[in-house]
Amino acid sequence: MKTKRRSLLDIESLATAEITALLRLARRMNPAKPRPLLRKKRVALLFYEASTRTRVSFEFAAKALAATTSVIYAEASSIEKGESLLDTGNTLRALGADLIVLRHPAAGAPHLMARHLDIPVINAGDGMHEHPSQALLDAFTILRHKRNLRGLRVVIVGDIYHSRVARSNVHLLSKFGAQVTLCGPVEMAPDIAATLAPRVRVTRHFEEALRGADVIMMLRVQKERLAGRQIKVGEYAAGYQLTSERLRLARRDALVMHPGPIIRGMELTAEVADGPQSVILEQVRNGVAVRMAILASALGVAR
Amino acid sequence: MTRDSKPVSWLLKGGRVIDPAWRIDAEMDVLLRDGRVAEIAPRNKVRGSADETFNARGLIVAPGFIDLHVHLREPGQSHKETIATATAAAAAGGFTSVCAMPNTSPVNDSPEITAWMQDPARGAVVNVFPVAAATLGSKGEQLTDFRALQRAGAVAVTDDGRPILSDEIMRDVLHAAAPLNLPVMQHAEDTRLSAGCSMNEGPTAFRLGLRGMSAESEAAIVDRDARLAQAAGAHLHVAHISTAATIKAVRRGRRNRAHVTCEITPHHFALTDENVGSYDTNCKMNPPLRSADDREALLIALADGSIDAIATDHAPHARHEKQVEFERAAFGVIGLETALGLAITKLQRERKIGLARIIELLSTNPARIAGLKERGSLARGSIADVTLFDPGARWTFHAEKSRSKSRNTPFDGWQLTGRVVATIVGGNFVYRLG
């Protein structure tokens, strides 16, 4: 049988066994101890949106597996007038790429590419849709501190509507039996968000959501989006900023997470970001091992 | 066989004639001569003789189908479709007449373009009735010359995909159209609210991370238009209605004595927004596929007579315009060849809506709406536009075999019941199965 090569497009369509296998593989990956699993493989990192941590994380992961990497920044303007996404993909394929990591502002762009290309496509964030590698590294990080995800009370706070991180995490956590509470003002956490997956609820009341929480995931809140929805920064902070006082409502061993980049004083205080319950930097660190697992698994060299 | 072939008379023998205009549903023979229905009589009772006989046993003989809403793409976008290819697809779908939307390039806002579209040089195999732009360039600013357009052959006016939002302009359009008995077709969408949206608002859009078009704004436009149409004494035709709220607005308008008619597309009664699945751009159209509740309300309205017509909104697009990111993909699907099969499969088989009602939706009512006298009926003296179909035939639609120049359909590979066997325009066969 041919070695299985497969894309990672979203969390929603993954089976729990596939997720478990990826997380297990990630535990065996150590960025400090390179494994030449992808020697002679070419990994193209195709970024249609600015990104530091995701891009560097994938790049380090590929290099730790001895792959050759190339980063391609596509100007946002080229989307409108330039080469089509499929043509770019076919060009990279013709140049010898064995795998494409794609970050794109349009939801479903990786799905399109995967449908028409015979090499794996890894979704590094597509519009407001999903960011599967982030959810995997978040689960990996949680499992470093909690025995399992079943029954965990996870609160995701902020601009759910625009967040691909939220969507991927909701799917992953729900698949493993966690209880997910989405929290934010109605413009950011509309009621319809509860239809994403089973056992998901939406609330506007941060304090209520925090009571008894095991994990608190703070999302980035963009000032422009607040302005667009006529929400004042001060008002938002008053209702939804994670402060030390509020954190006390959660379980004493609750984890504070954030996909970054964090804006101190906006969605959380510096005190909380740097506090003992924060695992924000650990998330970043774990990202490399998790992405090593994703790349190795996609190219069928490890399972 | 083409329209150029020497005129012959035809006897359509042994078929089941269904002509809702005259409440006929019986086994009858039909004699076509000189482009007209010369005789229609019970089996073997036709007195005149014909050059040729067509055995219609087991088939339904219906007045030719009329599609109120197609995009022929000519002039200007022949990479998507031409009048010749679109009308070939129309013939294969049983349509003997198509009403061509004005969003061509340039926009059909002049008698010259209206006439150009009907020129025999275009190679149309079915009748083409242009629907002209209501405003110059469909910019919603300055009215076109309705009288001149009508004289050139336009059967209605619309700005279709660039709906008329200004109350003043819409009022002026309706007032100008009323004395000419020219229907005003409106694509009811509040484009101020739907910018950047690519599908129906709802759980599927939220899951896919796509911005959603609200279902309410369609009905709000219909409410306003019906009010203005009533005041102007004009005929408002609501294009491709897609929501439960919209059919309520249509009924409300009628209760308030406005002359409101409406159409539905086969894809809106066959599919829901869940069919978008994993970013299938062949399920991206405008109005978008709606919720299961919307679809249910529309199926009820199809059965109870609230909806007047089935129109395909045939909207061909080249492959490269669809094989792109969902949000960038062009709106629209082709639909001429699948309309009857979907109507019979989804309406007759699944919902027990009768064949007479389906023919009313595909022929009788569209003829009335577009003011096509002598069409939409098989009464003696009518123009010999006839559709013959086998209501029980099962077949599979293959997009690559479409006569359209484009392949953008969500129904590729669908098993359908009900198939067009022959299409006759002006007494000449323009399509024969097999």
B7 min Cα distance to partner chain A (Å): 50
B266/B389 same-domain check: no
Largest CA distance in chain A: 59
**pLDDT at residue A233, rounded to an integer:** 84
A153/A242 same-domain check: yes
**pLDDT at residue A106, rounded to an integer:** 96
Q: What is the pLDDT of residues B129-168, one digit of tens each?
A: 999 999 999 999 999 999 999 999 999 999 999 999 999 9
> Taking residues B342-365, what's their average pLDDT?
98
**pLDDT at residue B6, rounded to an integer:** 59
Contact B209 A196 (CB under 8 A): no
B79/B195 same-domain check: yes
Residues 209-228 of B with CB under 8 A from A: 209-210
Residue A4 resides in a domain: no
| DSSP states along B64-104 | PEEEEEE---TTT-TTT--HHHHHHHHHHTTEEEEEEPS-S
Task: Single out the catalytic residue among B159, B160, B225, B313.
Answer: B313
| Grouped pLDDT means (10 residues each) for chain A, 303 residues | 72 97 96 93 95 94 97 74 89 96 97 96 97 98 97 97 97 98 95 97 98 97 75 89 97 97 92 97 97 96 72
- Domains contained in chain B, number: 2
Q: Which chain A positions have a beta carbon within 8 Å of B323's beta carbon? A: 84, 86, 112, 116
Residue A7 resides in a domain: no
**pLDDT at residue B5, rounded to an integer:** 54
The answer to whether the beta carbons of residues B133 and B109 sit under 8 Å apart is yes
ipTM: 0.95
Residue A147 resides in a domain: yes
Residue B4 resides in a domain: no
Radius of gyration of chain A from Cα atoms? 19
Residue B304 resides in a domain: yes
Determine the Cα–Cα distance for residues A209 and B310; give it in Å rounded to an integer. 50
- Domains contained in chain A, number: 2
B290/B353 same-domain check: yes
Contact B325 A106 (CB under 8 A): yes
Between the alpha carbon of residue B2 and those of residues A132, B92, B425, B428, the distances in Å are 57, 13, 10, 7
Residue B313 a catalytic site member? yes
| Residue B123 forms contact with A (CB below 8 Å) | no
Residue A46 resides in a domain: yes
Residue A5 resides in a domain: no
Residue B396 resides in a domain: yes
Q: Which chain A positions have a beta carbon within 8 Å of B278's beta carbon? A: 13, 108, 111
Strands annotated E in A112-188: 121-126, 153-157, 179-183
Q: Which chain B positions have a beta carbon within 8 Å of A111's beta carbon? A: 278-279
A230/A243 same-domain check: yes
A154/A271 same-domain check: yes
Q: Is the pLDDT of residue B15 over 50?
A: yes
**pLDDT at residue A302, rounded to an integer:** 74
Structural domain span for residue A294: 16-129+287-298
A207/A81 same-domain check: no
**CA dihedral (A235, A237, A240, A245) positive or negative:** negative
Contact B209 A86 (CB under 8 A): no
A102/A156 same-domain check: no
Beta partners for B32?
Answer: B10, B37
The answer to whether the beta carbons of residues B257 and B280 sit under 8 Å apart is no
> Taking residues B338-360, what's their average pLDDT?
98
B144/B22 same-domain check: no
B204 min Cα distance to partner chain A (Å): 9
What CATH number corresponds to the domain at position A70?
A: 3.40.50.1370
Q: Which residue has the higher pLDDT, A5 or B284?
A: B284
B228/B362 same-domain check: yes
Q: Which helix (H) or strand (E) holds B28?
A: strand B24-33
A139/A269 same-domain check: yes
Structural domain span for residue B414: 10-61+383-432
| Residue B386 forms contact with A (CB below 8 Å) | no
B137/B229 same-domain check: yes
B162/B241 same-domain check: yes
Residue B377 resides in a domain: no
Residue A9 resides in a domain: no
Q: What is the pLDDT of residues B59-71, one digit of tens each?
A: 999 999 999 999 9
What CATH number corresponds to the domain at position B231?
A: 3.20.20.140
B244/B196 same-domain check: yes
Residue B222 resides in a domain: yes
> Taking residues B213-241, what's their average pLDDT?
96
**pLDDT at residue A3, rounded to an integer:** 43
Residue B2 resides in a domain: no
B49/B166 same-domain check: no
Q: Is the pLDDT of residue B297 over 60?
A: yes
**CA dihedral (A221, A226, A229, A231) positive or negative:** positive
Q: Which chain B positions have a beta carbon within 8 Å of A193's beta carbon? A: 206
| Whole-prediction pTM | 0.94
A234/A292 same-domain check: no
> Taking residues B382-386, what's their average pLDDT?
98
Q: Which residue has the higher pLDDT, A64 or B7?
A: A64
B130 preceded by a cis bond (ω within 30 of 0): no
| Residue B193 forms contact with A (CB below 8 Å) | no
Q: Is the pLDDT of residue B186 over 80?
A: yes
**pLDDT at residue B247, rounded to an integer:** 98
Average pLDDT, chain B: 97
Residue B123 resides in a domain: yes
**pLDDT at residue A151, rounded to an integer:** 97
Residue A3 resides in a domain: no
Residue B374 resides in a domain: no
B176/B203 same-domain check: yes
Contact B323 A86 (CB under 8 A): yes
A99/A149 same-domain check: no
**pLDDT at residue A12, rounded to an integer:** 98
- Residue B328: other Cβ atoms inside 10 A: 17
**pLDDT at residue A83, rounded to an integer:** 85
The answer to whether the beta carbons of residues A201 and A194 sit under 8 Å apart is yes
What CATH number corresponds to the domain at position B54?
A: 2.30.40.10
| DSSP states along A71-83 | EEEPPHHHHHHS-
B46/B79 same-domain check: no
Structure tokens at A34: 């390179």
Q: Is the pLDDT of residue B376 over 50?
A: yes
B165/B23 same-domain check: no
Q: How far apart are the first and last CA of chain B?
A: 13
> C-alpha angle with apex A14: A9 to A16, nearest 5 degrees?
150
Instruction: Point out the residue among B203, B209, B324 whose CB comes nearest to the CB of A127.
Output: B209
Residues in chain A, overall count: 303
The answer to whether the beta carbons of residues A133 and A126 sit under 8 Å apart is no
Q: Which helix (H) or strand (E) holds A44?
A: strand A42-47
